[in-house]
C-alpha cells in the first residue's frame, strides 16, 4: 500500500476514525489501530471497538493498492506534528513509512488480517434532515445513563410514532423525549435502542451536514454523513415503559424566562456542593432559588415568574435541572408538578415537541 | 495555617499488642505466653502477636504458617473483630475526653492535638500520662504515648515508648516519651533513615550511595542535593522530615476512603454461583456499615485474587451515591461477570469508595419502585438487627445449616479459620 495526501485531510480522518478506537486495550490488540484500505485512489480508513465503528472514505493519490493497520494514537500524533503539505504513507514488510518534507517515521504495523471484517449495512435506507436529527440528539443524549450497570439505560430509544420518529432517553432520574414529526425511519410500532455513546459521536460527526442516511439492520445501525460512516451495535433488551411516567395534568405550573433561570441556577449551584440540591421556592409572581451546603455557606436568588398553584418548595440536582433547561427550546419554560416528591415536567412554553421529566431530590 | 510549629502539641497513642491484650483480658491464663491473633488456617496472616511471641521473630502481616514454624508453642486465636472495635470505640472516647481533635489511624492508634488543652488538662506529657492511667483503669489495657510538636515525631516517639521483646521476656518501655521542639534534632539524628516516612528499599539504596544511613546524615545535606538524588517531590519531603518539619494537621472525623469486606477462602473457589453468593453476603456487610456510619459512595470495586496471587480489581462509578446492600450486590455481581473464576479464586472482596456523608438529600428515581423498595428493605433490616442482633436477618445466601450467618465486619479478615 502506498499513497499521498494532504496532511490536514489525514489529520481530520485520523481524528474522526480514532474516536471509535477504545483506549482500554480490549480483547483484540489490533483494534488499537486504524485500518487503511487502498484501491486505486480510494482510501477507506476504519477505527472500531466492535461496538462502534467509524470509517472515512478519502480520495488520495494512490500508487499501490493494499491494506495496513497503523497504531491509531501514534499515527494521529505524528500526522498532527508534521509540517502542512503532502504526506506519503507506504506500508512495507511490517512497517509503515510516513514521510513529509524531510521528516520520516517508520512505525510497526499490526497484522491487518486480524482486523475484524465489518460487513456493510443491509436494509432499507432512509434520509433524515441532519440539523433536526442532530438537535434531537443534543436534547436527549445527556439524559441517557452513563452507568454501565444498567446497559438498557445507556441507550437512546428510536421509536416510530404516528407521524414520525421519537427519541427517548432516561437514566431513571430524568427522562427526555423529542418528537421529530415527518421523519419516518421505522416500520409502524418498531423501536430500536442505540448506544448513547455512538449517538454522541454521531452528533459530533454531523457538524453542519445537510442530511444523514440511516440504515437499520438486525443488530446494528449505520449512519452515513458524506464521506463518514458510523456503524453501531444496537442494545438488546426492553426499554422501560416511559409513557406511563409522563403526567397528563398537574395542578402547579411555573412559567419563567429560560435564560434568566439558567443564569441564576449557575450562580446558585456554586453553593450546592457534593450531593446537596438547589431548592426552588415557588410563590405567586416569583421564584426563589436557595442552595445551602453545611460548613460552606449558602446562596439565594429571586426571579420574576408566573406561578399558578399552591406554595411549593421542590429540590433538584442542579446539574440535572440545567441539563434539561439548556436543551429546552424557546424563551420561556414551564415547570409543572404535583408536589415535592413527584416528577416535574419541564417544557418550552412555545414548542411542544420536547419534554424533560425530572425527579426531585428528597430533603429530610 | 497552623502557625509556628513549636506552638503545637501532638500526641500519638498506640495500644500495646492490642488484639492480643484484649484476648488476654478474657483468657487470663494466656498472660505471659506467646499468643498470636490472626487467620488460623493455612492461608491466614498474623494480625497481632504478644511480646512473648515476638521474641521468636513473629510479627504482624506474617503468614500464620511461618509464625507456627517460628513459634510452634504459641496459642493461635482467630480473633474477634467486633469485640476489638467495641473496645477501640471506648478507648477513643477516653482520648476524646481530653481534646476534640482526635484522629483515629486504626482501631489501636490515634493522633491527638492537645495544643489548646493545657489550661483544662495540663501539659502534653501530663495528658499523656493521664490517658495511660485512664485506659489502664477502665479497660485494663496498656498503651504507649509519644508527645511531640508534630505527628511525624509523635509517632516515632511512641515507638520508642513501647515495650520490646527479648528472649528473657518482654522488656517494659518508658510508656511515654516526650520530644520538645528543642530536643527534636537530637532525637531524630541517631535514628536510621528508613524510619522516615516514604523511605522504602529503593530510596534507601540511593541514600546509602550518598553515604546516608541516619536521619542526622540526611539533615546535613542541602535540599538540592537530596532532590538531585531522589527527585523533586520526594527529596523536598525527606528534607523537611529530616528537619522535623511536618505541618499535617490532626483531623478528626475523617471520611474514610472506602468501606470494604474481603475474605480469603480455605481452598480456591471456582464456582461462579458460590462466589456470587459470597459477594451478596459481603455487599450486605458493606451496606450495613455504610448505613451505620451515615455514608454513601459512588464507586463499587470487586477485588479478586487467584490461586497464584495474581490480583485484579474491577470497579465502576455510578451517577448517584448508594448505600443499599441490594444495589451494591447487584453492581458487584455485574462487575464479577467480566472475571473468569476458572483458574481458582483465593480471595474476593467488595468495596465502596468515593464516600461522602449522607447530607439527608436523596435523588428520587422515576422508575422508583426498585430503588425505593430496597431502601425500605434496608431500613427494616437495620432496625431488626438493632433490636434482635446481627444474625436475626440476612440475605438468603447467608442461610446455612446453623441458621442465618451474616458476614460480620472483620470475618475471616486475616484468612480462613482452621478446619
Query: What's the CATH number for A246-358?
Result: 3.10.150.10
Residue B14 CA to residue B145 CA, distance in Å, equals 6
**pLDDT band at B136; cut points 50, 70, 90:** very high
Provide, as residue numbers in chain B, all residues whose Cβ is less than 8 Å from the Cβ of A172: 365-367, 371
How large is the average pLDDT for residues B144-159?
94
How large is the average pLDDT for residues B316-341?
89
pLDDT at residue A313, as a whole number: 95
**Inter-chain residue contact B359 with A146, CB threshold 8 Å:** no
| Residue of higher predicted confidence among A96 and B416 | A96
Residue of chain B nearest A320, judged by CA positions: B363
Residue of chain B nearest A345, judged by CA positions: B366
Q: Any CB–CB contact under 8 A between A148 and chain B?
A: yes
Q: Which of A146, A276, A362 sits opposite B319 (nearest CB)?
A: A146
pLDDT at residue B4, as a whole number: 47
Residue B250 is given by DSSP the state P
Tallying the residues shown for chain B, one arrives at: 419
Is the Cβ–Cβ distance between B196 and B241 less than 8 Å?
Answer: yes
pLDDT per residue as tens digits for the range A294-320: 778 999 999 999 999 999 999 999 999
Residue of chain B nearest A276, judged by CA positions: B361
pLDDT per residue as tens digits for the range A143-167: 999 887 788 999 999 988 877 889 9
**pLDDT band at B2; cut points 50, 70, 90:** very low
pLDDT at residue A38, as a whole number: 96
Residue of chain B nearest A277, judged by CA positions: B361
Q: Which residue of the set B52, B103, B109, B142 is catalytic?
A: B109
- Domain map of chain A by residue range? 2-114, 125-244, 246-358
pLDDT at residue B413, as a whole number: 63
How large is the average pLDDT for residues B257-264?
88
pLDDT per residue as tens digits for the range B40-76: 887 888 999 999 999 999 998 899 999 999 999 999 9
Assembly ipTM: 0.81
Provide, as residue numbers in chain B, all residues whose Cβ is less than 8 Å from the Cβ of A146: 319
Q: Which positions 288-327 of B are in contact with A (Cβ < 8 Å)?
A: 316-321
Residue B5 has pLDDT above 70, yes or no: no
Is the Cβ–Cβ distance between A305 and A254 less than 8 Å?
Answer: yes
Q: Which of A175, A315, A364 sits opposite B366 (nearest CB)?
A: A175
Q: Any CB–CB contact under 8 A between A175 and chain B?
A: yes
How large is the average pLDDT for residues B337-358?
90
**Inter-chain residue contact A364 with B316, CB threshold 8 Å:** no
Q: Which residues of B157-169 are buried (b: 16+ CB within 10 A; e: fewer)?
A: bbbbbbbebeeee
CA A86 from chain centre, in angstroms, equals 33
Shortest alpha-carbon distance between residue B372 and chain A (Å): 12
Shortest alpha-carbon distance between residue A100 and chain B (Å): 39
How large is the average pLDDT for residues B195-215?
86
Q: Which CATH class is domain A125-244?
A: alpha beta
How large is the average pLDDT for residues A258-263?
97
pLDDT at residue A295, as a whole number: 78
Provide, as residue numbers in chain A, all residues whose Cβ is less than 8 Å from the Cβ of B301: none
Q: Which positions 232-271 of A are in contact with B (Cβ < 8 Å)?
A: 240, 245
Size of interface A-B (CB pairs under 8 A): 67
| Residue of higher predicted confidence among B191 and B409 | B191
Q: Fold match between A2-114 and A246-358?
A: yes
Residue B117 has pLDDT above 50, yes or no: yes
Q: Which of A240, A315, A317 sits opposite B367 (nearest CB)?
A: A240
**Inter-chain residue contact A359 with B361, CB threshold 8 Å:** no
Catalytic status, residue B276:
no
Q: What's the 3-state SS for chain A?
A: CEEEEEHHHHHHHHHHHHCCCCCCCCCCHHHHEEEEEEECCEEEEEEECCCEEEEEEEECEEEECEEEEEEHHHHHHHHHHCCCCEEEEEEECCEEEEEECCEEEEEECECHHHCCCCCCCCCCEEEEEHHHHHHHHHHHHHHCCCCCCCHHHHEEEEEEECCEEEEEEECCCEEEEEEEECCCCCCCCCEEEEEHHHHHHHHHHHCCCCEEEEEECCCEEEEEECCEEEEEECCCCCCCCCHHHCCCCCCEEEEEEHHHHHHHHHHHHHHCCCCCCEEEEEECCEEEEEEEECCCEEEEEEEECEEECCCEEEEECHHHHHHHHHHCCCCEEEEEECCCCCCEEEEECCCCCEEEEECCEEEC
Query: What's the CATH number for A2-114?
Result: 3.10.150.10
Amino acid at each position: 500500500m502506498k499513497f499521498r495526501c494532504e496532511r490536514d485531510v489525514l489529520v481530520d480522518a485520523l481524528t474522526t476514525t480514532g474516536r471509535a478506537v477504545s483506549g482500554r486495550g480490549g480483547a483484540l490488540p489490533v483494534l488499537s489501530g486504524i485500518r487503511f484500505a487502498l484501491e486505486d485512489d480510494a482510501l477507506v480508513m476504519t477505527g472500531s471497538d466492535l461496538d462502534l465503528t467509524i470509517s472515512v472514505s478519502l480520495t488520495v493519490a494512490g500508487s499501490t493498492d493494499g491494506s495496513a493497520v497503523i497504531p491509531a494514537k501514534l499515527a494521529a500524533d505524528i500526522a498532527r506534528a508534521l509540517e502542512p503539505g503532502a504526506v506519503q504513507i507506504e506500508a512495507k514488510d511490517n512497517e509503515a513509512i510516513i514521510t513529509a518534507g524531510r521528516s520520516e517515521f517508520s512505525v510497526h504495523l499490526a497484522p491487518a488480517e486480524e482486523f475484524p471484517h465489518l460487513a456493510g449495512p443491509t436494509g432499507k435506507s432512509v434520509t433524515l434532515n441532519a440539523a433536526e436529527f442532530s438537535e434531537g440528539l443534543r436534547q436527549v443524549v445527556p439524559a441517557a445513563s452513563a452507568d454501565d450497570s444498567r446497559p438498557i439505560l445507556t441507550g437512546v430509544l428510536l421509536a416510530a410514532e404516528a407521524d414520525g420518529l421519537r427519541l427517548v432517553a432516561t437514566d431513571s432520574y430524568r427522562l427526555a423525549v423529542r418528537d421529530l414529526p415527518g421523519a419516518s425511519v421505522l416500520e409502524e410500532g418498531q423501536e430500536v435502542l442505540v448506544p448513547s455513546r455512538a449517538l454522541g459521536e454521531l452528533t459530533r460527526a454531523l457538524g453542519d451536514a445537510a442530511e444523514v442516511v440511516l440504515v437499520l439492520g438486525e443488530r446494528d445501525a449505520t449512519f452515513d454523513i458524506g464521506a463518514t460512516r458510523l456503524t453501531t451495535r444496537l442494545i438488546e433488551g426492553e426499554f422501560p415503559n416511559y409513557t406511563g411516567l409522563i403526567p397528563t395534568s398537574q395542578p402547579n405550573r411555573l412559567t419563567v424566562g429560560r435564560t434568566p433561570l439558567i443564569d441564576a441556577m449557575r450562580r446558585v449551584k456554586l453553593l450546592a456542593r457534593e450531593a446537596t440540591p438547589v431548592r426552588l421556592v415557588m410563590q405567586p409572581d416569583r421564584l426563589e432559588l436557595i442552595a445551602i451546603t453545611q460548613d460552606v455557606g449558602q446562596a439565594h436568588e429571586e426571579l420574576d415568574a408566573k406561578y399558578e398553584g399552591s406554595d411549593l418548595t421542590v429540590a433538584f440536582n442542579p446539574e440535572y435541572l440545567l441539563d434539561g433547561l439548556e436543551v429546552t427550546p424557546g424563551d420561556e419554560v414551564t415547570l409543572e408538578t404535583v408536589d415535592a416528591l413527584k416528577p416535574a415536567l419541564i417544557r418550552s412554553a412555545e414548542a411542544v415537541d420536547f419534554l424533560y421529566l425530572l425527579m426531585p431530590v428528597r430533603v429530610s | 495555617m497552623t502557625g509556628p510549629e513549636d506552638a503545637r502539641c501532638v500526641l500519638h497513642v498506640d495500644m500495646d499488642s492490642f488484639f492480643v491484650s484484649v484476648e488476654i483480658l478474657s483468657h487470663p491464663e494466656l498472660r505471659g505466653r506467646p499468643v498470636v491473633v490472626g487467620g488460623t488456617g493455612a492461608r491466614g496472616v498474623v494480625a497481632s502477636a504478644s511480646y512473648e511471641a515476638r521474641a521468636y521473630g513473629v510479627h504482624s502481616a506474617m503468614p500464620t504458617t511461618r509464625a507456627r514454624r517460628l513459634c510452634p508453642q504459641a496459642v493461635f486465636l482467630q480473633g474477634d473483630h467486633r469485640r476489638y472495635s467495641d473496645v477501640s470505640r471506648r478507648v477513643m472516647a477516653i482520648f476524646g475526653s481530653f481534646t476534640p481533635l482526635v484522629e483515629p489511624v486504626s482501631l489501636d492508634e490515634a493522633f491527638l492535638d492537645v495544643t489548646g488543652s493545657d489550661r483544662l488538662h495540663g501539659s502534653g506529657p501530663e495528658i499523656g500520662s493521664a490517658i495511660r492511667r485512664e485506659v489502664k483503669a477502665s479497660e485494663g489495657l496498656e498503651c504507649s504515648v509519644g508527645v511531640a510538636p508534630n505527628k511525624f515525631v509523635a509517632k516515632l516517639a511512641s515507638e520508642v515508648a513501647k515495650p520490646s521483646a527479648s528472649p528473657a521476656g518482654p522488656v517494659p518501655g518508658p510508656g511515654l516519651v516526650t520530644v520538645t521542639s528543642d530536643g527534636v534534632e537530637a532525637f531524630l539524628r541517631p535514628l536510621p533513615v528508613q524510619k522516615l516516612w516514604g523511605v522504602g528499599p529503593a530510596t534507601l539504596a540511593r541514600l546509602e550511595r550518598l553515604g546516608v544511613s541516619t536521619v542526622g546524615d540526611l539533615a546535613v545535606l542541602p535540599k538540592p542535593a537530596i532532590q538531585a538524588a531522589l527527585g523533586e517531590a520526594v527529596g523536598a519531603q525527606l528534607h523537611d522530615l529530616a528537619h522535623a518539619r511536618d505541618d499535617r494537621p490532626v483531623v478528626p472525623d475523617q471520611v474514610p476512603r472506602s468501606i470494604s469486606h474481603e475474605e480469603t477462602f480455605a481452598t480456591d473457589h471456582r464456582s461462579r454461583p458460590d462466589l456470587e453468593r459470597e459477594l451478596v453476603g459481603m455487599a450486605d456487610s458493606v451496606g450495613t456499615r455504610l448505613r451505620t456510619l451515615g455514608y454513601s459512595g459512588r464507586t463499587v470495586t470487586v477485588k479478586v485474587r487467584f490461586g497464584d496471587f495474581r490480583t485484579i480489581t474491577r470497579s465502576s462509578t455510578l451517577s448517584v451515591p448508594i448505600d443499599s446492600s441490594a444495589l451494591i450486590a447487584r453492581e458487584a455481581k455485574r462487575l464479577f461477570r467480566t472475571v473468569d473464576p476458572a483458574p481458582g479464586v483465593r480471595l474476593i472482596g467488595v468495596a465502596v469508595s468515593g464516600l461522602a456523608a449522607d447530607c439527608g438529600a436523596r435523588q428520587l428515581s422515576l422508575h422508583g419502585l426498585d430503588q425505593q423498595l430496597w431502601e425500605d428493605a434496608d431500613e427494616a433490616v437495620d432496625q431488626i438487627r438493632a433490636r434482635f442482633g446481627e444474625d436475626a436477618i440476612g440475605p438468603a445466601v447467608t442461610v446455612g445449616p446453623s441458621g442465618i450467618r451474616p458476614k460480620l465486619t472483620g470475618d475471616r479478615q486475616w484468612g480462613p479459620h482452621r478446619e
